[in-house]
């Protein structure tokens, strides 16, 4: 029996909400609140006769702590699921603290305005001290640790697939397969084809910022940064086949390096087709990925926001996307004094996702873990007060829930390693 407030009603939230409504005994009441209320109303109307979960909707500007507090105080949820954008993480965490309610999200904080001088000061210092230059990092949300702990509240960060399930895979490997882990390679393969020359599978602004940034990996206790897309490997993925993949910076590397301190190297690779890369490079070269506003015929526009308006809505890719995703982690290390390797991953079919939840596999593989993370928090399995990432909790009930609700794991004890 619980009341949950979901903030955001985009591609990922749509999947998470549909999944929550399949478990009305846990998600008894749900309020869907977002910037555009009509999207919340449309989803609520569609689900009305399919679930006994009592759904209400609300309009909220999640950039405003005041508006969020007013909504939380009137709805009185047990948990706030932030499935809006990373830009809103801090305002929603702040509102949760002020209103004494548990919090979770699917991606770590980054600012919408990367030209903000106050933010830049902190960012420049972090780039120098830490050695990676991605716009996002955990420091902003980890700064809330003490306050959440003292309030007896739990904040669960980054509970999608990657970050999210990939960290549960690491916790699972550490618990069941290894005494010591030496290396972790996280491989994110999307073998799907949507038929467009260029489109992004989730929010274009967040996606393009991530992919066009320099890559980095963790090695021997420090970050190694490389130019964007400068490390390429080929890998043969189960049920997908041979793909080119590129080393990217990714947020879970930062928390894994802290929580599995013996690990010597952590890398993250994502597959990209040549058409995607050529388009992205071209758009970057002409300035379309810029977040700095320009004046165009008397109007101020932000190039990447304008580009977002031109690109296909990720939520519309579902019916067109065929093929599979394969996301997981390859480990090397030791168990009982013997060297060993291990690969744990999930394969997800775009069309099966669409048939079940009207979405493609990228939203599905993020929305299902978000629901499962909420399930862990609401059923008392993941409740340690403070601000935590997924690998800090017991992976077993979470992976069991993923097996049950649509993202079953596969394993190999003799995987091909990434050179």
CB of 6 to ligand NDP, least distance (A): 10
Residue 71 burial (10 A CB sphere; 0-12, 13-18, 19+)? buried
E-strand spans in 336-392? 338-349, 386-389
Question: How far is Cα 146 from Cα 345, in angstroms, rounded to an integer?
Answer: 34
**Of 27, 103, 140, 202, the one binding ligand NDP by CB under 6 A:** 202
**Does 239 interact with ligand NDP (rule: CB under 6 A)?**
no
Site for ligand NDP in 71-130 (CB under 6 A): 83-86, 88, 106-107
**Of 5, 30, 32, 60, the one binding ligand NDP by CB under 6 A:** 60
Residues contacting 321, CB < 8 A, separation 6+: 192, 193, 194, 350, 351, 354, 360, 361
Closer to ligand NDP by Cβ: residue 255 or 332: 255
Number of residues that bind ligand NDP (CB under 6 A): 33
How far apart, in Å, are the Cα atoms of 57 and each of 9, 31, 373? Answer: 10, 5, 22
**Of 5, 6, 10, 348, the one binding ligand NDP by CB under 6 A:** 10
CB of 73 to ligand NDP, least distance (A): 17
**Does 8 interact with ligand NDP (rule: CB under 6 A)?**
yes
Indicate the Cα dihedral angle 356, 353, 376, 18, nearest 10°: -40
**Does 314 interact with ligand NDP (rule: CB under 6 A)?**
yes
Residue closest to ligand NDP (Cβ): 10
**Of 160, 191, 333, 395, the one binding ligand NDP by CB under 6 A:** 160
Question: How far is Cα 267 from Cα 419, in angstroms, rounded to an integer?
Answer: 11
Task: Give me the 258-297 binding string for ligand NDP, x by CB under 6 A, dash otherwise.
Answer: ----------------------------------------
Closer to ligand NDP by Cβ: residue 88 or 102: 88
**Does 373 interact with ligand NDP (rule: CB under 6 A)?**
no
Residues contacting 376, CB < 8 A, separation 6+: 156, 382, 393, 397, 398, 401
CA nearest to 241, candidates 198, 285, 190: 190
CB of 190 to ligand NDP, least distance (A): 11
Q: Is the dihedral of CA 89, 25, 351, 242 positive or negative?
A: positive
Return the DSSP state at 6.
Answer: E
CA nearest to 147, candidates 76, 80, 79, 99: 99
**Does 43 interact with ligand NDP (rule: CB under 6 A)?**
no
Q: In the complex, which residues of this chain contact ligand NDP (CB under 6 A)? A: 8-13, 34-36, 39, 60-63, 83-86, 88, 106-107, 158, 160-164, 202-203, 206, 314-315, 366
């Amino acid at each position: 029996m619980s009341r949950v407030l979901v903030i955001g009603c985009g591609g990922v939230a749509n999947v998470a909400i549909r999944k929550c409504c399949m478990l009305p005994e846990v998600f008894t009441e749900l309020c869907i609140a977002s910037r555009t209320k009509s999207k919340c109303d449309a989803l609520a109307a569609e689900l009305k006769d399919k679930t006994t979960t009592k759904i209400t909707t609300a309009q909220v500007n999640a950039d405003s702590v005041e508006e969020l507090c007013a909504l939380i105080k009137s709805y009185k949820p047990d948990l706030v699921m932030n499935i809006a954008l990373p830009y809103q993480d801090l305002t929603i965490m702040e509102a949760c603290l002020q209103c004494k309610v548990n919090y979770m999200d699917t991606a770590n904080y980054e600012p919408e305005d990367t030209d903000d001088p106050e933010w830049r000061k902190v960012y420049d210092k972090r780039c120098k001290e830490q050695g990676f230059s991605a716009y996002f990092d955990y420091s902003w949300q980890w700064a809330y640790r003490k306050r959440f702990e003292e309030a007896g509240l739990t904040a669960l960060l980054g509970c999608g697939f990657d970050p999210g399930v990939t960290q549960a895979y690491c916790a699972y490997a550490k618990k069941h397969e290894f005494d010591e882990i030496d290396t972790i390679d996280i491989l994110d393969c999307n073998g799907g084809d949507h038929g467009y020359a260029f489109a992004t599978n989730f929010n274009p602004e967040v996606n393009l910022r991530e992919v066009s940034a320099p890559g980095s990996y963790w090695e021997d206790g420090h970050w190694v940064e490389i130019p964007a897309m400068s490390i390429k490997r080929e890998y043969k993925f189960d049920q997908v086949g041979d793909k080119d993949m590129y080393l990217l910076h990714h947020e879970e590397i930062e928390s894994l390096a802290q929580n599995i301190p013996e690990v010597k190297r952590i890398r993250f690779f994502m597959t990209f087709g040549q058409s995607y890369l050529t388009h992205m490079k071209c758009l970057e070269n002409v300035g379309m990925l810029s977040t700095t506003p320009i004046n165009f015929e008397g109007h101020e526009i932000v190039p990447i926001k304008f580009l977002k308006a031109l690109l296909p809505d990720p939520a519309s890719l579902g019916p067109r996307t065929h093929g599979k995703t394969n996301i997981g982690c390859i480990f090397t290390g030791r168990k009982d004094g013997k060297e060993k390797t291990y690969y744990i991953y999930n394969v997800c079919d775009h069309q099966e996702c669409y048939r079940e939840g009207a979405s493609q596999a990228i939203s599905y593989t993020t929305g299902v873990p978000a629901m499962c993370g909420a399930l862990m928090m609401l059923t008392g399995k993941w409740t340690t007060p403070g601000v935590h990432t997924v690998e800090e909790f017991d992976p077993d009930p979470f992976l069991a829930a993923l097996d049950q609700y649509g993202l079953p794991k596969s394993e190999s004890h003799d995987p091909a390693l990434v050179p």
